[in-house]
Structure 1
Amino acid sequence: PGTTSLTVPDLFSGTGEVTIPLDPTKGLAENAQTHYQRAQKRRRALVGLDQRERSHQAELARKQAALAQVPLADAVRLQALLPRQRGKKGERRTPGLSFRSRQGFAILVGRSSQENDQLTMRIAKSQDVWLHVQATPGSHVIVRAAGKQVPFETILEAARLAAYYSQARHSSNVPVDYTLRKHVWKPRGAKPGAVLITQQKTVYVNPAPPSSSAELLSSET
């Protein structure tokens, strides 16, 4: 009793010494027991932290794996849940996303099966150009002809959007079918977004998001 500290060799580093504080009212044996109990308590706490860390890491891995299974097109469909903007007079705007090509043609992109139906079956005119990625779920894309001949450059721009807003988003050289709207029809009883087409042609493009394709497209306001 009466000793306030004890200096001993540092067994962990192998060099130097370490000073251990002691309770002067207790003997060396009691101090040793106290420090041992504290060390055991800290060890249990560290083990608990390590177990929680492993649990958190496992949970994070599970969530990341689940997210990786979400189809890319679902991210596009989620946009349909956002509040739709209205025109100056409170009227609803055309469903989906709207862009304008370098040649000045309006390009419309559906964000869900329901919007695909609206754009293709209700809004598009017979001479408008209809596009969709080949044999893969994705958006219906409409190029408004407005009584003009749609140039091939605009068709390519629209095809890149069709590839981007599809499950082929991260692929390259994606086949995209296009035809006039008058050659697109919906079978009786077909699900939303399901259509049949004829007289289609196919172009192969790399998907291009609007944000990184400013030289091709700009969002309509």
Structure 2
Amino acid sequence: MASVDSTGLIVSRRLRSGDLLHAGLAIVLLLGVWSVGGLEVSTGKVSSIEAINGSTVLLPCKYSSCIGIKNLHFIWGYNANGTIMKVCEGVIRGESRDATREPRPYIYHERVEFVGSSTSNNISILLWNITFEDEGEYICFARNPKEKNREYNATFTLIVVDQLREVDNTLTVTIVSVLGGVIGLVITVMVIKAMVVHTVSEECLVRSGNDDTQNGPSGTKSDKR
């Protein structure tokens, strides 16, 4: 009957556990790199805008990726009561700075113009002569084949109005006025204080001079006999 060395078993188990640990660390590192380098799509710091009926608005959208892009597929869609209607669609071939490789997207809306550029990672569009029917959510989709066609999106909301609302600045004006009054009062008090100190100092100097004149120079007799 063959015997098994217990020491060999222990070493073998340690090797297996070490391999599993290394494999786990490799997976975690890969996932970390993947999450950091993934594609990002953004409509900027402001996700909505109010625009006057009949005006032209910019619907912004930019993308970025630390791992690079190739044949990035993007779509602008309009959310019509839960149904996404295509507005614009195109492909960014790569990160080339060659102007001849700029995307030539398909436009599905007669009042839409593509104003993006692959040189600035920009896939924004213009919407001309807007109407109240254009109000709603516009979604910018992007899919990068380098990330197994995983899709990302960002939403921009358009609000159409007859005229822009006037912002009530009453509270702001009141606060600024109060602060201005307080600052002015503090400055006035400081000026008055400085003038008083200056006047008192001059009076002290005058009195000191008179006392020295009456007493005479040091070391002389003031009374004549």
The two structures share one fold, judged by TM-score above 0.5: no
Answer 1 or 2: higher relative contact order, Cα 8 Å, separation at least 6: 2
Greater strand proportion = 2
TM-score, normalised relative to structure 1? 0.35
